[in-house]
Amino acid sequence: MKKALGIVLIIILSISYYYSVNGPAEHSHDEEADHESTQEKTTDKKSPFVKDVKKSPLKVTKAHNHSVKKPNLDKPVKVPDFEPASENEVSMLKMTELISDTINNKKDSKALRSSLISLGLKPITSVDSNPYTGTMKIVRTEKNLPGTRYFHTQIFTDENGVETIQYSAVDVRGGPNAFERTTLASAKSFKVNAKPDYQKPGFNKWSLGDGRNLWIKKMEAKDLKDDPFNAYSADDVGTIRVVVELEIHHESDGEKHLTPVEEDEVTEEEAN
């Protein structure tokens, strides 16, 4: 009997010892796991870096998609058809095409004079030169094509001898629908839309995209008064003026910002 009680006591003591050793270890492990889990949750909740890392791919993608979008800034140009209906309109088209060709192909004053001679016109060059403002040439003609007159081109020459056309113009005879027909002919010559960028009664203007403007104006009496280059009368009211000029110039002063100092008649070589 005593032997049996001793065995039971030993078993009870063994069980007590086992739990006293392993129990706290398991409890410690559970607490450590709970602590790590709590730390992870706290990090997820409070750390902005973790959130940014998770969301950054979406933000980068959106930014990338936004950066590659290219707005369509190029407006289609619908150049109008224009078929001259009279001799005057043939002349008008020839003169506007001459101005367009000279500017677009960056022709110098000598090439311009050759083009005028090829049309049967007699160019005259006026020169204004001083060390402060540089050299300005004005090319005009003694003869005119039917229905046109007062061709006028101003060319600035810099210190390197490079010429730049600042202003070029021609007058077209007025009449019924003359303003509308001149507008169409000029739009065709300069390859711009029939509808101007800016317009008001008797005035149309386009930006040519190279620092120049093309404008067409139905001249009123006040526009023709005291012109320093051209002779006008009351009968010339309604004349249509076609002008291409650098944006530094203004419609209000037109040709009135330069007075020629000397004139060079066309040479014999050019006439031939």
pLDDT tens string 131-164? 777 899 999 999 999 999 999 999 999 888 899 9
Q: What is the band of 8 on the pLDDT scale with cuts at 50, 70, 90?
A: low
The amino acid at residue 24 is: P
CA geometry: angle at 171 spanning 268 and 98, to 5°?
Answer: 55
Question: What is the C-alpha to C-alpha distance for residues 239 and 87, in angstroms, rounded to an integer?
Answer: 17
pLDDT tens string 236-259? 999 999 999 998 644 444 433 333
Question: What are the strands of the beta sheet with 262-264, ordered from one edge?
Answer: 198-200, 203-207, 212-218, 240-246, 163-172, 148-157, 134-141, 123-130, 262-264
Tracing tokens 């730049």 back to the chain, one arrives at 164
Q: Helix (H, G, I), strand (E, B), or coil: what is residue 133?
A: coil
Q: Are 217 and 203 in contact, with CB atoms under 8 Å apart?
A: yes
Question: What is the C-alpha to C-alpha distance for residues 163 and 103, in angstroms, rounded to an integer?
Answer: 11
pTM of the model: 0.65
Looking at residue 129, its pLDDT comes to: 87
Residues making up the chain, counted from first to last: 272
Whether 267 has a pLDDT exceeding 80, the answer reads: no
Looking at residue 35, its pLDDT comes to: 45
262 closest CA partner among 125, 133, 116, 168 = 125
Of 216 and 20, the one with more pLDDT: 216
Looking at residue 68, its pLDDT comes to: 40
Q: Helix (H, G, I), strand (E, B), or coil: what is residue 90?
A: helix
